[in-house]
Structure 1
Amino acid sequence: MLVTTTSNRLNQRWAWGLSAVVAGVALVLGFFFPWAFLGLLLAPVVYWLLRRRCWRRLAVMGRAFPDAWEAILRSRVVYYGALGDDGRKRFRQMVMVFLDETRITGVRTDVDDTTRVLVAASAIIPVFRFEDWEYSRLGEVLIYPASFDDSYRSDGAEPRGTLGMVGTGHLNGVMILSKPALLTGFDITSDKLNVGVHEFAHLVDGADGSIDGVPPGMPAETYREWITWVGKELGRPEGERSHIRPYGYTNEAEYYAVLTEYFFEAPEVLERKNPELYRLLAKMFRQDSLKLLGGAKGRRKRRLGRNSPCPCESGKKFKHCCLRRATRGAAA
């Protein structure tokens, strides 16, 4: 998702190399077919096509991060607040790139800054420690005003209808999220529930073309451990199942997505109740959420009050600093 010095250099070499091949072929063919010399004009086009996304991302990463977005992250995303300076910089850059490349559309509801930033945070948290990650199968996120039914209608949906899903068929490349559920996922912490993180876990899982509960990129040893673990857990009789919420036992894909929520929402509980499973997930996500969020445990149990010191360390009260910017951004 991010362009590093190394990835930029590799992209540049690849672009130069392929454009040179195009130019070379045009020169050779030109000796036999004079019109082939026109192929020389394709070389710079090929170079531009191969470099344009890299250039665009570098430009996006170099922009100033909006104050309103910063306020939203600091006041609503505990994960972001637990990161160090370098981590927060990386997170901000990932937010900007994601929002630059992903359409977020409201369906009978407004999409404000808070909604957009929390969708981006949901996407980034599970892959934050992956060096080179792309949500290549996602083109648009639809935000619904409430839960929805099997026909994607929210007006007559049951109160406990679907809160989020990754589209298939004619909705391939589309994610649907209930706006209230998205907001609640970040407002209520340590409850093992975050619909945004859950649905993006499905996209991580499906990066290899199949949403089957086995995300790509695992080392062989971790892969074997995971397959063995999932087979054992899903084979348990209902009365012998563990502390993982029942929906996780629907199938392998839901088990993985539910555990993703658990790992980032309540890592201290997961590690205490099942250290072996926690260790396995830490290897899969390439991060130690307990170590990261442990220092933020107190903050995870309550929201900032209006009169609390602002978390940006400005010395002002929250209501006079980040809260004001977050509210102004949400109303935009």
Structure 2
Amino acid sequence: MENTNVYYLIFALFIFGLCTLVFVKFIELIEYLYLLFYKKPAYVHFYFRLKKLPLEEERFLKDKFVFYNRLTKKQKTFFQHRVFLFIKDKSFEGREGFKVTQEVKLYIAATAVMLTFGMRKFLLPSLSKIIIYPDVYHSTINNTYHKGEFNPKLEALVFSWKDFLQGFATRRDNLNLAVHEFIHVIQINSLKYSDVSSAMFTDASKEMLALLLNKNIRARLDSTEYFRDYAYTNQFEFLAVLVEYFIENPLELKQNFPEFYLKIREMLNYNFRGY
């Protein structure tokens, strides 16, 4: 009799597990259909308990990030929560005597959160370690000096702090090292994972790159020379450079290349003031 009860229990657990799996897959299917139709996730922000930054750290975000100041009051609480979790999730290492302070962590984390704020998954599991040098550093990847790079094998993002800050010092030159390198992280992350945010980013980026085949757009690219030459290195660099232009001068990009502007807006799921 006891054996029979055990079998019934195992069978019941199996049925429950199967039903749960079917339900989860059904929800995933519904959401992907929603993404296909509306070009955005069904929802982005849902948290059980929000983490809040100290007042001095929130003041730092207000002073350094135009993006943060454009958010609503509720969105700012979500932004702070994500910054808190991002810092907790990553390892920060200084090299050649560079001291990693809380301000350094805030600057880096807020950049990542800014770029992923329209995505549900924002911790970027392809990245586990952030290494900061005081200035340009020697890279063993190609035996040259670099300002920044992402190493997918080591899951490491590397910055020259001098050049990181320079990217934010001038907000309208369309040059931002941190934005550029974090887009590379998001690109790799989106290729490795199959969540709805990754699918949104990957699909929109493919559609944007496909615009390069349009003869009229190609002719405008050649005649205006609007984007710097480095954008044409390869498709990954093209995308990263375009996002730099989008973040620093969204309205100017919209005026010059509205097709790219709309695709980047869709790719990042941006629906904020000023973008």
Task: Work out the percentage of aligned pairs sharing the same amino acid.
Answer: 23
Unaligned runs of 5+ in 1: 1-26, 32-57, 295-332
TM-score by length of 1: 0.60
Match of residue 119, structure 2, among 103, 122, 130: 130
Match of residue 140, structure 1, among 123, 126, 129: 129
SS at match of 1:91: helix
2:263 paired residue number: 280
User: C-alpha distance in 2, partners of 1:69/1:279?
Assistant: 33
> 2:236 is matched by which residue type in structure 1?
A
The structure-2 alpha-carbon separation of the partners of 1:230 and 1:113, relative to structure 1 and needing over 3 Å to count, comes to: farther
Shift of residue 192, structure 1, vs aligned partner: 1.1
SS at match of 2:157: strand
Describe how 1:174-253 pairs up with structure 2 within 5 A: 174-209=156-191, 216-218=198-200, 222=204, 225-231=207-213, 240=223, 242-253=225-236
SS at match of 2:137: coil
2:21 paired residue number: none
Shift of residue 73, structure 1, vs aligned partner: 0.6
SS at match of 2:124: coil
Map Cα deviations across residues 117-152 of structure 1 (whole Å, 9 max, x no partner).
110011111110112344011111001111123327
1:84 paired residue number: 72
The structure-2 alpha-carbon separation of the partners of 1:119 and 1:248, relative to structure 1 and needing over 3 Å to count, comes to: same
> 2:149 is matched by which residue type in structure 1?
M
The structure-2 alpha-carbon separation of the partners of 1:70 and 1:223, relative to structure 1 and needing over 3 Å to count, comes to: closer
> 1:197 is matched by which residue type in structure 2?
V
Contact persistence 2:133–2:159 (CA under 8 A) = yes
Unaligned runs of 5+ in 2: 1-5, 11-46
Shift of residue 236, structure 1, vs aligned partner: 7.2
2:36 paired residue number: none
The structure-2 alpha-carbon separation of the partners of 1:63 and 1:94, relative to structure 1 and needing over 3 Å to count, comes to: closer
Q: Which has the larger radius of gyration?
A: 1
2:54 paired residue number: 66
Shift of residue 235, structure 1, vs aligned partner: 7.4
Match of residue 259, structure 1, among 237, 242, 247: 242
Map Cα deviations across residues 86-133 of structure 1 (whole Å, 9 max, x no partner).
111111011001001111111120111221111001111111011234
RMSD across aligned C-alpha pairs, in angstroms? 3.4
The structure-2 alpha-carbon separation of the partners of 1:237 and 1:266, relative to structure 1 and needing over 3 Å to count, comes to: closer
Map Cα deviations across residues 292-328 of structure 1 (whole Å, 9 max, x no partner).
237xxxxxxxxxxxxxxxxxxxxxxxxxxxxxxxxxx
Contact persistence 1:106–1:142 (CA under 8 A) = yes
Shift of residue 72, structure 1, vs aligned partner: 1.2
Match of residue 105, structure 1, among 93, 104, 124: 93
Map Cα deviations across residues 54-108 of structure 1 (whole Å, 9 max, x no partner).
xxxx79x544412221121111111111111111111101100100111111112
> 1:256 is matched by which residue type in structure 2?
L
Shift of residue 186, structure 1, vs aligned partner: 2.0
Contact persistence 1:129–1:286 (CA under 8 A) = yes
The structure-2 alpha-carbon separation of the partners of 1:237 and 1:130, relative to structure 1 and needing over 3 Å to count, comes to: closer
User: C-alpha distance in 1, partners of 2:140/2:223?
Assistant: 35
Contact persistence 1:118–1:183 (CA under 8 A) = no
Shift of residue 219, structure 1, vs aligned partner: 8.5
1:119 paired residue number: 108
Comparing 83-92 with 226-235, which one deviates more in the overlay? Answer: 226-235
Shift of residue 238, structure 1, vs aligned partner: 9.2
Contact persistence 1:190–1:265 (CA under 8 A) = yes
User: C-alpha distance in 2, partners of 1:222/1:138?
Assistant: 22
SS at match of 1:65: coil
Shift of residue 230, structure 1, vs aligned partner: 3.7
